[in-house]
A and B are shown apart, each in its own frame.
Chain A
Amino acid sequence: MTPVQLAELLLFPGLTFFVWLAFLFEWLERKTAARMQGRLGPVVAGPFGILQPVADFFKLASKEEIVPSESDPFVLRWGPALYFAAPAIGIAFIPVLGYQSVLYHPLDLLFMFFVLGFSTLMAGLLGYASAGRYATIAMGRLVVQYTSYEVPLLISMVTPAVLAGSLSLQGVAQAQAPLWYIFLAPMAFAVFILASLAELEKPPFDIPSASTEIVGGWMTEFSGNALAYVKLTKNLSYVFLSALAVTLFLGGAGGPVLTADSDVQALAYVCYFLLKLFAVGFLIFAIKTGLARVRIDQAAKVFWTVVTPLSLAQLALVILLR
């Protein structure tokens, strides 16, 4: 790996870029929720409170880390790092500078399936290893929810791949240059957003982290540095899933070519990408703030009886009309 590739992987458009986007997303989420509720939201940390998630992160990182006596200290020590690694690897495959991603493989869409599954597995493992009563209940709910939303999520991700005839994110993004797949497969996009809400544990599917029912969900026993990284990972997953939605349904970073200068054009591509990313983000914020939580059996029922058939119908439609 050359130094330039390493810099792309770690700085821009790789890890550092997306971690700051994750902080920005949490700030936007809190501000949007506050404005929808007639509040101001964070204002003191930095201009317009934009550094509030950063302050939260460094405050948590500087606090004492308590390891409960019944827990598994090895998993509690290294689990958050692995949990963080899942979306941190995933974002490297997202094409940001035009149709070029930092890491590439002809079958990298399949790797995204693994990343999404691994992230949920680590969440469940972390909750189970912390040995709290509420964390154990939350882990059970997480597994039930996972078995419900994973099938439609994967089917909705396969649909654009069938349309594009490619199993790489770059290929899918490139194939959308004439027409975005949100117009060709709108139901798949809707299913993807719904399943993303479940994957991110956001309302109406925040059942595994329902703070009015089971305290902090599977994060109940976490404190200090581990909690800081778990919270950061949740925000990074937020950005990662929004970026996947942009890549699979909204044409990736593609857009009008403005100049012949490739450097300036790369900047334009990054702007297109960010605009689409924030559009998807705001869609999720609005759904999340506006809806109340459903019960776990209702979530399972909705996903198995409505969302999964819908995603299968969309896939069949796409294969027939292709």
Chain B
Amino acid sequence: MASFRSGLTQWARKRSIWVFHVNAASCNGCDIEILAALTPRYDAERLGVELVPSPRHADVLLVTGTLNPLMRDRLKTVYEQMPEPRHVVAIGACALGGGVMKDCYNVGHGIDAAVPVDLYIPGCPPRPEAIIFGILKLVTGTPDPVMAGEAHVG
């Protein structure tokens, strides 16, 4: 019975991935790509990925941007509002290490200075396939690359 329950939980967690998106001083390039991943062309809902309005509902936190000092505490607050098990995905060059704005006076060196990051998706901006593939790899471990591509409506 206990193994059935843990098996059920693992099955459910791999197929239901609710994401919350935080724009930590991004130029909006990566955010547009996240939107592309969620909207009809790539339709991440196929894989159980859903954008939720509150961090308390979320499993995965998608963070884009350079994380300037204004956003650091706010990002931490959002992260702390999420229930366990939770994951953080850093999307785009800026979230990974500051990107093209690296040496500016108000730019941090990646969001892992504020919250523990589980997965880095590089790119300026990364393609929607890369974002979906990354989220799936984080949650399921063995994603199908075909499923991360465009949705084909018959």
Chain A: residues with CB nearer than 8 A to chain B? 30, 34, 37-45, 49, 51-52, 54-60, 62-66, 211, 215-216, 219-224, 227
Tell me, yes or no, whether B33 is within 8 Å of chain A by CB.
no
Contact of B151 (CB < 8 Å), options: A40, A215, A219, A227: A40
Known: A34-B43, A38-B153, A216-B54. A59 touches B83 (CB 8 A): no
Tell me, yes or no, whether B15 is within 8 Å of chain A by CB.
yes
Tell me, yes or no, whether B84 is within 8 Å of chain A by CB.
yes
Tell me, yes or no, whether B104 is within 8 Å of chain A by CB.
no
Contact of B56 (CB < 8 Å), options: A38, A49, A54, A66: A66
Contact yes or no, B9 A221, CB < 8 A: no
Q: Within 8 Å CB of A63, what residues of B?
A: 59, 83-85
Q: Considering the chains assembled together, what is the distance between the CA atoms of A221 and B56 in angstroms?
A: 6
Q: Please provide the 3 A-B residue pairs with the shortest distance between their CB atoms, ordered closest to farther.
A: A58-B12, A64-B83, A211-B53
Tell me, yes or no, whether B57 is within 8 Å of chain A by CB.
yes
Contact yes or no, B147 A44, CB < 8 A: yes
A-B contact count (CB 8 A): 98
Q: Within 8 Å CB of B69, what residues of A?
A: none
Q: Considering the chains assembled together, what is the distance between the CA atoms of A223 and B58 in angstroms?
A: 9
Among B9, B16, B43, B56, the most chain A Cβ lie within 10 Å of the Cβ of B56
Known: A39-B151, A52-B16, A55-B12. A215 touches B53 (CB 8 A): yes
Interface size on B, residues (CB 8 A): 27
Contact yes or no, B84 A52, CB < 8 A: no
> Which residue of the partner chain B has the closest CB to A222?
B56
Contact yes or no, A39 B83, CB < 8 A: no
Known: A34-B45, A38-B40, A66-B81. A56 touches B16 (CB 8 A): yes
Contact of B57 (CB < 8 Å), options: A43, A54, A227: A227
Q: Considering the chains assembled together, what is the distance between the CA atoms of A40 and B40 in angstroms?
A: 8
Q: Within 8 Å CB of B59, what residues of A?
A: 59, 63
Known: A44-B48, A63-B83. A39 touches B54 (CB 8 A): no
Contact yes or no, A37 B57, CB < 8 A: no
Tell me, yes or no, whether B72 is within 8 Å of chain A by CB.
no
Q: Considering the chains assembled together, what is the distance between the CA atoms of A40 and B52 in angstroms?
A: 19
Task: Mark interface residues in B34-77 (1 if CB within 8 Å of A CB, else 0).
Answer: 00000010010111100011101101000000000000000000
> Which residue of the partner chain B has the closest CB to A38?
B40
Chain B: residues with CB nearer than 8 A to chain A? 8-9, 11-13, 15-16, 18, 40, 43, 45-48, 52-54, 56-57, 59, 81, 83-85, 147, 151, 153
Contact yes or no, A39 B9, CB < 8 A: no
Q: Give, as a whole number of angstroms, the nearest-CB distance from B50 to chain A.
A: 8
Q: List 6 A-B contacts (CB under 8 A).
A: A55-B11, A55-B48, A57-B12, A64-B84, A216-B53, A223-B56
Among A42, A51, A54, A221, the most chain B Cβ lie within 10 Å of the Cβ of A42
Q: Within 8 Å CB of A34, what residues of B?
A: 43, 45
Contact yes or no, A44 B57, CB < 8 A: no
Known: A37-B40, A39-B151, A216-B53. A30 touches B85 (CB 8 A): no
Q: Within 8 Å CB of B56, what residues of A?
A: 66, 216, 220-223, 227
Q: Within 8 Å CB of A45, what residues of B?
A: 15-16, 48
Among B47, B59, B147, the most chain A Cβ lie within 10 Å of the Cβ of B47
Contact of B12 (CB < 8 Å), options: A39, A40, A62, A216: A62
> Which residue of the partner chain B has the closest CB to A66?
B83
Contact yes or no, A40 B43, CB < 8 A: yes
Q: Give, as a whole number of angstroms, the nearest-CB distance from A322 to chain B.
A: 48
Contact yes or no, B46 A44, CB < 8 A: yes
Contact yes or no, A41 B48, CB < 8 A: no
Q: Considering the chains assembled together, what is the distance between the CA atoms of A108 and B33 in angstroms?
A: 53
Known: A39-B151, A66-B56, A216-B53. A44 touches B15 (CB 8 A): yes
Known: A58-B12, A62-B12. A41 touches B45 (CB 8 A): yes
Contact yes or no, A223 B83, CB < 8 A: yes
Contact yes or no, A55 B16, CB < 8 A: yes
Q: Within 8 Å CB of B15, what residues of A?
A: 44-45, 51-52, 55, 59
Q: Within 8 Å CB of B9, what residues of A?
A: 58-59, 62
